Amino acid sequence: MENFHKISAEAKAHNAQLIAVSKMQSIEKIKSVYDMGQRDFGENKVQEILLKKPQLPDDIHWHLIGKLQSNKVKKIIDQVAMIQSVDSEKLMNNIQKEAAKREIKIDVLLQIRIAEEESKSGMTKETMLEIIQKYLDETYPNIQIKGLMGITTLTDDQNQISKEFEYLKKLHEECQNAITQATILSMGMSSDYMLALEKGSSMIRVGSSIFGMRN
Ligand SMILES: *Cc1c(COP(=O)(O)O)cnc(C)c1O
């Protein structure tokens, strides 16, 4: 975990927030990073958040960054600070329904598919625009859209990754033109966070570079 301070400082220098991605990492390791001052942690599975949360301090902000099935929304909606992986209108509708039941307002990011791989999830630009329109029409009174999230193609081609970050940055500008409070641009992981920061990321999600290899 010797890299934590360096990565945290790099994020700060770019006015970006650091999410420490703790999926498949032990409670002990998470606690050490917490003790170094980190409060925002990312997990990609609902079950894993529910398991870890009670074993760790209450002032941690948990970010769900992995695929969320509609039927699991009710389990997680009041357990996380933010859902970064909203990838469809169906999921927006479900989150709205469950948040309304609990009379809470939940922060989300719209996940855009920027990678070439079909397997990477996320919505298209068209879907994003539809959701933004509905949001402006007050279809989702219990949801606050805070910005966009994206995952780049798994490749060594820096040029390709650059283009994907630039595309997401452009969509984020469109999104923020419509929704002023949608200030967050969540992009950049262990392998590409420096490039992401240069391309205007305001939130990096770093796992293995902080915690070491996952089990
Ligand atoms: C695992 C994961 C990360 C962090 O990946 P590292 O390569 O370990 O930094 C970031 N974002 C998402 C959505 C992830 O699933």
Question: pLDDT tens digits for 142-183?
Answer: 999 999 999 999 999 999 999 999 999 999 999 999 999 999
- Ligand 1 centroid from CA 21, angstroms: 6
- Ligand 1 centroid from CA 34, angstroms: 18
Beta bridge partners of residue 20, listed in sequence order: 41, 206
The residue type at 166: E
Average pLDDT of span 71-97:
98
> pLDDT at residue 204 above 90?
yes
For the Cβ of 46 lying below 6 angstroms from any atom of ligand 1, the answer is no
Beta bridge partners of residue 18, listed in sequence order: 204
- Ligand 1 centroid from CA 160, angstroms: 18
Are 50 and 75 within 8 A, CB to CB?
Answer: yes
What pLDDT does 116 receive?
81
What pLDDT does 138 receive?
97
From the number of C-beta atoms within 10 Å of its C-beta (0-12, 13-18, 19+), residue 127 rates as middle
CA–CA gap between residue 158 and residue 150 (Å, rounded)? 16
Q: Return left, alpha or beta for 147; rule: phi > 0 is left, psi -120 to 50 is alpha, else beta.
A: left
For the Cβ of 7 lying below 6 angstroms from any atom of ligand 1, the answer is no
CA distances from 161 to 14, 33, 184, 210 (A): 19, 28, 19, 21
- Ligand 1 centroid from CA 48, angstroms: 15
Q: pTM of the prediction?
A: 0.97
The residue type at 20: A
For the Cβ of 189 lying below 6 angstroms from any atom of ligand 1, the answer is yes
